[in-house]
Each structure stands twice: as structure tokens, then as C-alpha cells.
Amino acid sequence: MSGGTRAAERPGIAVVGAGYWGPNLVRNFMASPDWDLRWLCDLDTERAEHVAAPYASVRVTGALDEVLADPRVQAVAIATPARTHRNVALAALRSGRHVLVEKPLAATEAEGAELVAEAAKRDLVLMCDHTYCYTPAALAIRDLIHSGELGEVHFVDSVRINLGLIQPDVDVLWDLAPHDLSILDFILPPNLKPVAVAATGADPIGAGRTCVAYLTLALSSGAIAHGHVNWLSPTKVRTTIVGGSKRTLVWDDLNPAQRVSVFDRGVDLATPDELGVDQRRAALVSYRIGDMVAPALIEREALAAAVEEFARAVRTGTPAATDGRAGLRVLRILEAASRSLAENGALVAVGDDALEGE
């Protein structure tokens, strides 16, 4: 079978956006055996030409209409500013194309709901590029939680801090928190959902937007999840801790030698009916100190796995692991967190799935 024949059998795809993330999409779609990358579209055609230069088969245009006029384009991957996601994705969906959108899914919850409803109406795949969910670490953590190996989730604590880059159009919540919120949505069992959020933040340098923020989510079980995002930290930290009733897990994404550690350590609480009269006078709490295990992880670029998942969803007609509804759930929490931030940390309810459409 010739290379041209293989390309003809693969679904054609176009990348829209040649800025920060677009080149990564171009590289991964070119390397994928599942896709035939046909176009790179950007208003800055000179930049797009530069990005596409190593790939002779990729055509460049500044017009989305030209991309959507190509009958061999079956899907569109969008890496443009968030404020444009709704219009670009809606045009692609209405033309009958499957759509992959980088985070966040849209600029508002209402726009995200519109995209989800449009994709459902047309029976098309809408996937959000929550790239961190496709890291080997996140996939392993999800398996550990869903299998029950950690027990019931008691708390989740995440830190995502570094120095810069201060964004011109969004605050630190909308820039960094989508990563941790998408991971939380991905790893939690289906019966455990955020029901309310409280957020506090500060702009100590006068940037005109929140540069340091903390958000706390109340989960449906009574457990808690907490996140810290920060543009002003002189050191970079990427850690997530998941405390379970059986074991506690630590994900240090900056430690390639041991990204995930599972500790058989924690707190056990005896119930009164398990104790004698004398024992009831003593503390009911005991501490468990056991072994630590570091699961072996096969290193792989997360975006390559996301590209593969998009192809699987298109091929099978089944939702992607981070489908449009997952992106909408993240938007819902972000909007609630923004309202809480404006109300000096008041607890704000997170809406249900009624807005997602069918």
C-alpha cells in the first residue's frame, strides 16, 4: 500500500491557530498514523507558513472558509484564543466536521453549552484538549481511584505555581486552573462531583487581574478539593495529592524519576461499637505507617495520546474521555469560582448537567 493510499484512507484534519499551541498540534497530527493533516489556518499567514514549512503536504490559508470548503477535511482542531473558540468551533460543527478544542472549551459556560448542544444535534465528536488528562501519570491515577485501591477519596490538593506568564486577557484562575479542574474531573469516580466552590485571590503587582488564587471545592461526598494557582512564584511546582481511606497518592510532575508515589499511610478511625468501655476513653484515632510504592509509568507525550483519543472517538462515534461535556463541567466551575472571587470568597453552588443539552 502506498503512502498516498494510506493518506487517502485517513480522515483529513485542519489545525486552526498557529500561535503557542498550534505548532504542537501540527507536529502530533503529522506524526499520527490516524490522521491526514491537510491545512494550517491562521490570520497571520506568514507565521503559519513558518510553522508548516517542514511539512510539504500541509497547505496554509488565512481563511477558515477555504478549509471548510475542502471535502476531505473531516475534522478541525482549534488552537485560537478562547474568546474565538465559540465562533470557530460552531462554524466547523455546522459544516459537519468533528472538532477538537484546546482548553478552555469556550470563553463562557453559555458558549460551551451551545457547542455541546450543536455537536449532539449533529451527532459529531466534540472533544476538549485537556492534555494533562492524557499523561501516563493521570491515566494511572484514574485507574487507581476507579479500581478502589485508594479507597474513598477524602481530599485532593493541587499546586500549580510558577513565575509568569501573565496573560493579557484572562486571570490566573482561567489560565492555570483549567488544568487542575480537568484532571479532577477526569480522575474522580462518576458518583463524586463538585457541588460548590469558594475562591480567593489577589493582584499584588497591579496587573489589573488576579495573579494569585486559591479555590476550594466541596464534593458531593463531603470530601474537599483545594487548588493553588500562581503566576508570581519564583519556583515552579506541579503537585497533586489524593488522600484516600486506604492509601494516599502524590503526583510530582516535575520528578520524572518518580512522578507518582502511593503511600500506605494515613489515619484510621475506630467506631465506638468496636471498642470496649475502657478503650472508649482513649482516642479513636490511630495512625497507619506502611510502605510506599512508585508505579512504573511508560513515558509518552500526552498530546500524542490525546490525538489518538480524538481519532478513536471519531472512528467509533463514542465520546472522548475529555469530551465537550467534560469541558463544559470545567467552565461551570470556573464561572462559579469567578463569581466567588468577586464576592470575596463566598461559597457558590456549581450548577448541574442540565445545561449540557442532549
| Mean of pLDDT values over 269-278 | 59
The secondary structure of residue 262, as a DSSP letter, is E
pTM: 0.89
Q: Which of 239, 145, 250 is nearest to 192 (CA)?
A: 145
Q: Which residue has the cell 478552555?
A: 104
Q: Which of 154, 174, 157, 164 is nearest to 330 (CA)?
A: 174
Between strands 36-41 and 12-16, the pairing is parallel
pLDDT recorded at residue 4: 47
Q: Dihedral (C-alpha) 139, 142, 146, 148: value to the nearest 10 degrees?
A: 110
Judged against a pLDDT cut of 90, whether residue 266 lies above it is answered with no
Q: Which three cell numbers stand for residue 181?
A: 479542574
Distance CA 206, CA 212 (A): 12
Could you read off the pLDDT of 145-160 as tens digits, one per residue?
999 999 999 999 999 9
